[in-house]
């Protein structure tokens, strides 16, 4: 069993703290014995490669993806194999509206290397909703053989339940995510229709100290994208 935190933001997300560099994230994960992490910046994958490179050296397996905001303002954590990451980034770049980021209001959107040198500053606001529906995003991610997980269902904003109030019957979610603040028993008592869903727990970390605040233990047969995907598919449903 490997401890996994599959929802972590970096300095690329405007809401991510400037200490959330790939190196600091990997170091904190190692310190907490979190063996698998997901890099999930808002609507961008551009920080994944450096995190993956450092993770391979330091013994932390990095799942590459993004937290995508759909047209309905629903957040979904999505992952693809590293060799398909460019396809995901192209999709996000095409569908993200070109709204200039205001750094003094929203925060910086930076891609940095291990030495904390800025190698790119994203000009368009990443926390905007892309011009794709929830179903379109799910279909695209699965067309790449990826993993699609509606994020933080218990939150009162930007969750599938807060925006839609229900789980679309045709939506093929690989799992659903609950946040560190969730009272699991109360949540399922109020949303019994979700008990058939596979559940992951993630930190949604925007600060270094939040990494590992909620994690999921995955029974990974072989440490690879497909191995993690299979482990998620084998998770127990509900509570």
Between strands 199-201 and 216-218, the pairing is unpaired
Residue 238: what pLDDT?
Answer: 61
Pick the CATH number of 2-233 from 3.40.50.970, 3.20.20.140, 3.40.50.2300, 3.40.50.10260: 3.20.20.140
Cα separation values, 49 from 45, 62, 73, 151, 177, Å: 8, 9, 27, 22, 24
Q: Which residues of the chain have pLDDT under 70?
A: 238-239
Q: How far apart are CA 231 and CA 221, in angstroms?
A: 8
What is the domain partition of the chain in residue ranges? 2-233
Task: DSSP letter for 111, please.
Answer: E
- Condensed to tens digits (0 to 9), the pLDDT of residues 117-137 reads 999 999 999 999 999 999 999
**What phi and psi, each to the nearest 5 degrees, are found at residue 6?**
-100, 20
């Amino acid at each position: 069993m490997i401890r996994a935190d599959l929802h972590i933001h970096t300095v690329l997300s405007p809401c991510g703290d400037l200490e959330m560099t790939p190196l600091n994230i990997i170091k904190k994960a190692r310190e907490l014995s979190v063996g698998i992490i997901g890099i999930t910046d808002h609507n961008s994958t551009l920080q994944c490669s450096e995190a993956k490179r450092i993770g391979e050296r330091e013994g932390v397996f990095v799942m590459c993806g993004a937290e995508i905001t759909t047209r309905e303002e629903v957040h979904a954590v999505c992952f693809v194999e590293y060799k398909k990451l460019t396809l995901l980034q192209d999709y996000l770049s095409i569908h993200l509206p070109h709204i200039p980021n205001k750094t003094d209001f929203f925060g910086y959107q930076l891609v940095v290397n291990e030495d904390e040198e800025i190698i790119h500053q994203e000009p368009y606001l990443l926390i905007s909703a892309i011009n794709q529906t929830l179903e379109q995003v799910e279909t695209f991610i699965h067309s790449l053989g990826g993993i699609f997980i509606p994020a933080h269902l218990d939150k009162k904003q930007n969750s599938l339940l807060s925006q839609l109030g229900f789980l679309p019957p045709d939506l093929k979610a690989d799992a659903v995510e609950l946040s560190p603040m969730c009272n699991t028993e109360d949540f399922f008592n109020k949303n019994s229709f979700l008990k058939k869903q596979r559940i992951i727990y993630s930190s949604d970390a925007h600060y270094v100290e939040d990494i590992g605040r909620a994690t999921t233990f995955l029974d990974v047969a072989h440490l690879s994208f497909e191995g993690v995907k299979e482990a998620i598919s084998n998770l127990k449903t509900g509570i």
